């Protein structure tokens, strides 16, 4: 950091030196121009004087003009006034010995009525001079003489030298201010960078950049105005942000659900809040980012947001829930089967073989009939297995689950994962609602795959209040008490899948029953190349 201050001081002093030299050169140029203007003005005034014009008609012009020229020279602050004939013979000169001699210098087109300005070395040394004609009358006429007025370069330099102390003092003041500013900036940089020098700052930034791009969590830093200051690769992927981020970019500039924007930009802190984008389930944690100024109350703070992709984990959690349900159903069936097996064995021991055979075949027929009914209705194996398990699970809870299907679910073009998400979550919610209601408890599933795919799930539950109908698909909404991490998520996941597939999801009431209807468009036909 010390080297940075030294460089700043060198730059400041260099700039002051250059500016000082430029000011001196400019002062010299302006002094010469001012001397030339003054010489021309005096020359024109002398040439237009009636006494000067009249003197050219006398026998001895010098006797009349020399005293006049010296008086004017002393009062006009010029170094010489030479009045001469059109041929350049002097009538006046600061040095009387030069009277009668020939003017040294160019006359230009002054003898023909023009004006000349030049710098020339004459009898008094280098000078800035002007030569104008003297005409026979005040209003014009023939050229009867010439007037040359000049200021020596030496006197011009003296006038510039008079300004040099002020220029130097100004330059020194600027240098002092520049040095003080460099010291203040150096201390500020030292405090802001924690005492690190340029090389350390560069190395640290390189390390931070590598870490930000390498971590698997999404990282988003927002300033106090909600603008995105930094987004690493994972954040760009999860939120669909442009890469690179344009200047002044905010999350309102990208197509994100309002709930996601609120979770990312809201006030205060949040930990592991689950939000849904169009395609992903994201766990968001947000914490205010305090700076020195914001901590002192001089401004609002920004926020640091971390994100984790929870999509696969949520899918696995739902699959685990389904597997747990299957396991519970199988355990219950095993328990019931053991009871019936004991009954069959007891009947055999009592010699009631006919009753034992009837009990065994009845149980087998009931189980097989259920499996045959589900498999016959649904041609998609995974979906059939899911509904078979849900039927057993519903039966354990005293809920009658019936299935109705039309068309081929396999040909609808919807992926197995999306089918399981939509149907599984709708059936789970329906079974929960029906199980919490009074008898008779039932759930009906209708799948129509004749044109696209339509899934209708209705139940005998208590229904949904009119005030809640607009938010049943919002993340976190649930009719259950003590909503946990996965409650209030099922219907939101269904809505996410349906919207991603450009379908529609609606809630209706039919005959006092609650009905959810999800409609998915048919997948476009794949045209094989000829």
**Model confidence pLDDT, tens digit, residues 67-104:** 998 888 888 878 888 898 888 888 898 888 888 888 88
The Cα 281–Cα 315 span in angstroms is 9
What pLDDT is recorded for position 529?
47
Q: Is the dihedral of CA 473, 476, 481, 486 positive or negative?
A: positive
pLDDT single digits (tens) 347-401? 777 777 777 777 667 655 555 555 656 666 677 887 887 887 788 788 878 888 8
Res 485 pLDDT > 50: no
What pLDDT is recorded for position 484?
46
Q: Are 370 and 387 in contact (CB under 8 A)?
A: no
**Higher confidence at residue 406 or residue 347?**
406
pLDDT band at residue 457 under the 50/70/90 scheme:
very high
Q: Are 488 and 314 in contact (CB under 8 A)?
A: no
What pLDDT is recorded for position 530?
43
The Cα 243–Cα 188 span in angstroms is 33
Smallest CA-to-CA distance from 403 within 440, 362, 371 is with 371
Q: Is the pTM of this model over 0.75?
A: no
pLDDT single digits (tens) 268-311? 788 878 777 777 788 888 888 765 554 444 445 788 888 888 77
pLDDT band at residue 318 under the 50/70/90 scheme:
low
List helix spans (H) across 397-439: 416-435
**Higher confidence at residue 312 or residue 244?**
244
Q: What is the mean pLDDT of residues 393-411?
A: 84
pLDDT band at residue 2 under the 50/70/90 scheme:
low
């Amino acid at each position: 950091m010390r080297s940075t201050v030294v460089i700043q001081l060198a730059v400041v002093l260099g700039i002051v030196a250059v500016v000082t030299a430029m000011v001196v050169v400019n002062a010299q140029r302006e002094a010469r121009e001012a001397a030339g203007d003054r010489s021309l003005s005096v020359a024109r005034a002398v040439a237009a004087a009636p006494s000067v014009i009249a003197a050219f008609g006398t026998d001895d012009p010098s006797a009349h003009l020399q005293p006049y020229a010296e008086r004017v020279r002393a009062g006009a602050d010029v170094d010489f006034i030479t009045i001469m004939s059109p041929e350049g013979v002097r009538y006046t000169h600061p040095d009387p010995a030069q009277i009668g001699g020939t003017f040294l210098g160019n006359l230009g087109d002054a003898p023909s009525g023009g004006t000349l300005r030049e710098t020339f070395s004459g009898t008094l040394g280098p000078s800035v001079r002007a030569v104008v004609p003297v005409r026979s009358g005040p209003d014009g006429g023939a050229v009867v003489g010439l007037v040359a007025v000049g200021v020596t370069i030496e006197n011009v330099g003296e006038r510039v030298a008079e300004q040099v102390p002020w220029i130097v003092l100004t330059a020194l003041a600027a240098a002092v201010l520049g040095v003080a500013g460099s010291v203040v900036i150096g201390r500020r940089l030292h405090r802001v960078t924690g005492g690190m020098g340029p090389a350390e700052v560069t190395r640290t930034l390189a390390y931070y950049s590598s870490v930000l791009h390498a971590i698997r969590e999404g990282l988003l830093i927002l300033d106090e105005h909600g603008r995105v200051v930094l987004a690493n690769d994972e954040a760009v992927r999860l939120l669909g942000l442009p890469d690179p981020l344009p200047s002044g970019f905010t999350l309102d500039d990208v197509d994100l659900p309002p709930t996601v924007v609120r979770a990312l930009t809201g006030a205060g802190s949040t930990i592991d809040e689950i939000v849904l984008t169009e395609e992903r389930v994201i766990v968001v944690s947000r914490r205010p980012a305090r700076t020195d100024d914001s901590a002192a109350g001089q401004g609002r703070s920004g926020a640091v947001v971390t994100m984790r992709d929870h999509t696969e984990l949520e899918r696995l959690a739902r699959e685990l829930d389904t597997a747990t349900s299957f396991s519970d159903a199988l355990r219950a069936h095993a328990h019931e089967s053991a009871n019936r097996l004991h009954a069959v064995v007891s009947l055999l021991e009592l010699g009631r073989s006919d009753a034992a055979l009837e009990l065994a075949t009845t149980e087998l027929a009931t189980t097989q009939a259920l499996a045959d009914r589900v498999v016959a209705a649904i041609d998609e194996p995974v979906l059939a297995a899911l509904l078979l398990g849900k039927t057993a699970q519903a039966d354990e809870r005293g809920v009658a689950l019936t299935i109705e299907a039309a068309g081929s679910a396999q040909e609808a073009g919807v992926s197995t994962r999306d089918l399981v998400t939509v149907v599984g979550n709708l059936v789970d919610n329906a079974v929960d609602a029906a199980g919490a209601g009074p008898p008779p408890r039932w759930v009906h599933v209708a799948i129509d795959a004749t044109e696209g795919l339509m899934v209708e799930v209705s139940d005998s539950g208590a229904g949904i209040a009119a005030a809640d109908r607009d938010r049943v698909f919002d993340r976190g909404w649930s009719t259950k008490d003590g909503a946990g991490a996965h409650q209030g998520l099922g219907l939101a996941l269904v809505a996410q899948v349906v919207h991603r597939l450009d379908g529609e999801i609606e809630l209706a009431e039919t005959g006092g029953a609650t009905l959810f209807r999800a409609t998915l468009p048919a997948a476009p036909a794949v045209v094989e190349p000829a």
